[in-house]
Amino acid sequence: MSIGTAAICTVDAVVLSIVNGELKVLLHWRPKQPFEGYWALPGGFIHVDEDADAESTMRRILTDKAGVSGLYLEQLATYSGPDRDPRGWSISIAHLALVPAAELTIDEGKAALVSIDDLPELPFDHGKIIEDAVARLRGKGAYSTLPASFLGKDFTLTEMQSAYEIVLGARVDASSFRRKVLSLGILTDTGRSRQGDNRRPAKVYRLTEAVGTFDRTLGHSAG
């Protein structure tokens, strides 16, 4: 009896970034069939001869297609079925990646950052995957440091608050935000300040640890 299956095994990434106060997703122009000429999520085949696991596949592809490495990456969900890919029964292990826009290398014509509110028609089930990715980000954003992944290593509290507001899609009270974030101990004061024009300089912080979750929520709680 055969132990293998004929399923096509791929990975796809929903790479999100904040540009001009808007959540954008990285789309890649498909140079080949199927869906030649369409914009789609960056993805590709698992190479069983070189990849240590699906996350390695994903990082290899993101480095190749978007020039990013070391970004925040988590597994989103796995999509499968006979109809999602015209080549046959397929599996896609989808990932969610968050990256500061400045760290992305966009090859004009081959890739683009597109507002999640203004997506073109997408092949496969990529529309659904992006929807799920944004839902995950919005849901997890309120009780984790995920939104800080959109910022550089160092940032001010105002910048961090702005990232949370964009992720949550709601205004956040500055006083509450500072009180909570600082009391959680997730930030380290770098001792430096960032000057602006005609205004008081803001203290510069960085994450004490990598992305993590906490039990209190930030921003408005529904209900």
Partner DNA sequence: TCAATAGTGTCTGTCAGACATTATTAC
Partner DNA sequence: GTAATAATGTCTGACAGACACTATTGA
By the rule CB under 8 A, 89 interacts with its own copies:
yes
Q: Pick from 23, 41, 46, 134: which binds its own copies (CB under 8 A)?
A: 46
Tokens found for residue 181: 């974030």
Q: Which is nearer to DNA, 141 or 219 (CB)?
A: 219
User: What's the rounded Cα separation, in Å, for the pair 49 and 93?
Assistant: 18
Instruction: Give, for 77, the enclosing helix (H) or strand (E).
Output: strand 72-81
Q: Nearest 5°: phi and psi at 93? A: -90, 105
Residue type at 18 in one-letter notation? I
How far apart are CB 40 and its own copies at their closest, in Å? 16
Q: Give 3-state DSSP helix, strand, coil % of the chain, rounded to 5.
A: 25, 35, 40
Q: How many residues bind its own copies (CB under 8 A)?
A: 33
47 lies in the site for its own copies, by CB under 8 A: yes
Q: Which of 174, 188, 208, 212 touches DNA (CB under 7 A)?
A: 174
Cβ-proximal residues to 53 (8 Å cutoff; 6+ apart), any chain: none
The listed partner (its own copies, DNA, none) that binds 199, CB under 5 to 8 Å by sort, is DNA
DSSP H helical ranges for 12-145 = 54-66, 126-141
Q: Which residue, chain included where needed, has tokens 């978007």? A: 66
Q: Which residue number, 107 or 173, has a Cβ lying nearer to DNA?
A: 173
Rounded least distance, CB 217 to DNA, Å:
6
Indicate whether 202 belongs to the interface with DNA (CB under 7 A): yes
Q: Residue 43 binds what, of its own copies, DNA, none (CB under 5 to 8 Å, by partner type)? A: none
Q: Which does 106 bind (CB under 5 to 8 A by kind): its own copies, DNA, none?
A: none
Phi then psi dihedrals of residue 184, to 5 deg: -75, -15
- Check residue 21 for interaction with DNA (CB under 7 A): no
Please tell me the number of Cα atoms within 13 Å of 88 on its side-chain side.
Answer: 6
144: nearest Cα among 210, 221, 69, 96: 210
Q: What are phi and psi of 159, to 5 degrees?
A: -65, -40
Residues 137-156 that bind DNA (CB under 7 A): 156
Residue list 57-86, contact with its own copies (CB under 8 A): 75, 77-82
Q: Does 31 bind its own copies (CB under 8 A)?
A: no
Least Å from the CB of residue 52 to its own copies: 6
* Residues forming the site for DNA (CB under 7 A): 156-158, 172-176, 178-180, 182, 193, 195-203, 216-221, 223
